[in-house]
Amino acid sequence: MGISMGPVGRPWRFDLALAGDRAVPMRIRIGRAIVREIQRGRLAPGSMLPGSRTLCAQLKVNRKVVVAAIADLASQGWLEPLPARGTRVAVDLPSFPVADVESPRRSAGAVLERGRSWLAVSDGIPDSRIAPIDELARAGRRALLALRRSALGYGDPAGDPALREILAGFVNQARGLSSTADEVVITRGSQGALSLFALAMLRPGDAVAVESPGYSPAWRAFESLAGARVVHVPVDAHGLCTDALEAQAERLRGRLKAVYVTPHHQYPTTVAMSPERRMHLGRLAERRDFFIIEDDYDYEYHFEGSPLLPLSAAPDLSRRCIYVASLSKLIAPAVRLGYVIADPSVVARLRQARDTLDRQGDVILERSLAELFEDGVVQRHARRARRIYGERRRHLIEELRSSPALRDRFDCTPSSGGLALWVRLRRGAVESLVDDARAAGVILTPGSSHLPSGRLAAFRFGFAAHTLEELTRLCRVLEATGRQDGQPAGRRSSRSPPSRRS
């Protein structure tokens, strides 16, 4: 017990093809074949190898030969015998270059080496090390056993009624909305909510305005699921430029069906949309008859002053607003639970789309979370997380401000909340920074990846998922990248065009 089984406990059936020179001893040919399957990812680290009896029957060789080949690979670190259980592929494999492993942070075309320790600068995800996972596991077990006695059949496509009631109460109390359970649809994360909106409410040729730079998974949902046309509107220090939006709405003449915004902490720049822009957006939505999709993905994390209430909290706007939220930042992205709050006429269409798509959500997860909210576990976790992340945020800001080399190279005006800082390069291309950081074992996503095209000399520096030591280490790496060409940072020539406004 306690041994990680890796991604595959025991393959159903694993055919091992022997290639190569028949003159090579069978023991070596078997060893090479196994290593080849490990290298091409078919046998993943931690997965169980077929038993030696199975292999010898399959390869029609003496079992002693197979056992010897396995022993060779174990002594070289490829395989690991587990007493009384069999043999698994080692979790820490011998180092070898992997040509097609993608960076966990989507850094374009990254080729990572196994056997080297990588640290990825987070985009702003929470720290799963502090998430209430034990509580969730226990609640999950209780939910499943309780459901066995009552309802393991199909349920409401809008989600578990008890959780909808709880979520409505939660956003009413904590975020100033005035919703009812009937206006809530539970989804698989915010992405599920955006996808349902696209399927239920958009038609090919409809236009959806989005922030630029912005959250590209939302663009993809509108474009690829509904065939909608995504129109990019610039963002500045006050959030979405509503004058530019107005001009677009004029040009689109009634085809603009929705505007997708992240007003609380704009993604990726973290700026809060100003009250004036919010009012202008509301007036435009009324006049031009479009929906406002408000993605409020990290409302909990506000560290200075008090946050503005969501647009959806304004009574005169609630009919137009599609409020989208998620537990990805509050608990963890792997807990796929989000929700939409909208007018009942929209909810009816979302419910229908959900029924068509996959009937309903994960009722066990929904019941488990209802229990964690009811018992105050989520609320306690939010308080603790806010305290820990606040400390990490202060630490990162202090690191960026106290180092002359970092101050000289980077410009960062921290927003009052969110789980990331938006760091701009005062000069140079972010792509070069990404390359230099990678050479030092750090993966960084360039700001340009949040644009439809073009360059943006900035990056998101998420702090919540990193300990204070990790943040310090990341800052030392960034400092070192600035010194790499041997010149003082201030005298290096620019390697990029001027950065765009954001």
Residues forming the site for ligand PLP (CB under 6 A):
189-191, 215, 262, 267, 295, 297, 326, 328, 333, 338
Residues forming a β-bridge with 258? 208, 291
∠ Cα 148 365 265 (to 5°): 165
Q: Looking at beta carbons only, is 78 or 170 nearer to ligand PLP? A: 170
Q: Specify the DSSP class assigned to residue 302.
A: B
* Minimum gap (Å) between residue 261 Cβ and ligand PLP: 10
Q: Looking at beta carbons only, is 46 or 214 nearer to ligand PLP? A: 214
* Minimum gap (Å) between residue 106 Cβ and ligand PLP: 12
DSSP string of 266-283, one letter each residue: -TTT-PPPPHHHHHHHHH
* Minimum gap (Å) between residue 233 Cβ and ligand PLP: 16
Q: Looking at beta carbons only, is 215 or 410 nearer to ligand PLP? A: 215
Q: Looking at beta carbons only, is 243 or 358 nearer to ligand PLP? A: 358
* Closest C-alpha to 245, from 282, 195, 215: 282
Nearest-angstrom CA–CA distance, 169 and 172: 5
Biggest distance spanned by C-alpha atoms of the chain: 82
Query: b or e along 341-376 (b: 16 or more beta carbons within 10 Å of the residue's beta carbon)?
Result: bbeeebbebbbebbeebeebbbbbbbbbbbbbbeee
Q: Specify the DSSP class assigned to residue 22.
A: T
Beta carbons within 10 angstroms of residue 175's beta carbon: 20
* Closest C-alpha to 324, from 197, 234, 416: 197
* Closest C-alpha to 260, from 236, 296, 224, 300: 296
Sort strands 239-240 and 256-261 into parallel, antiparallel or unpaired.
unpaired
Beta carbons within 10 angstroms of residue 126's beta carbon: 26
What tokens were used for 173?
Answer: 């109390």
Sort strands 119-120 and 321-326 into parallel, antiparallel or unpaired.
unpaired
The answer to whether 230 and 223 have CB atoms below 8 angstroms apart is: yes
* Minimum gap (Å) between residue 193 Cβ and ligand PLP: 8
Q: Looking at beta carbons only, is 218 or 226 nearer to ligand PLP? A: 218
Q: Looking at beta carbons only, is 48 or 261 nearer to ligand PLP? A: 261
Q: Looking at beta carbons only, is 69 or 196 nearer to ligand PLP? A: 196
* Minimum gap (Å) between residue 337 Cβ and ligand PLP: 8
* Minimum gap (Å) between residue 413 Cβ and ligand PLP: 19
Compute CA distances 373 → 234, 369, 379, whole Å. 38, 6, 7
* Minimum gap (Å) between residue 352 Cβ and ligand PLP: 21
Q: Looking at beta carbons only, is 267 or 463 nearer to ligand PLP? A: 267
* Minimum gap (Å) between residue 396 Cβ and ligand PLP: 18
Q: Contacts by 127-134 with C-beta closer than 8 Å and gap 24+?
A: 127/385, 127/388, 127/389, 127/464, 127/465, 127/466, 128/332, 128/334, 128/465, 130/381, 130/384, 130/385, 130/388, 131/331, 131/332, 131/335, 131/381, 132/331, 132/372, 132/377, 132/378, 132/380, 132/381, 133/332
Q: Looking at beta carbons only, is 197 or 267 nearer to ligand PLP? A: 267
Q: Looking at beta carbons only, is 124 or 428 nearer to ligand PLP? A: 124
Helix (H) or strand (E) holding 36: helix 26-39
* Minimum gap (Å) between residue 497 Cβ and ligand PLP: 27
Q: Looking at beta carbons only, is 191 or 368 nearer to ligand PLP? A: 191
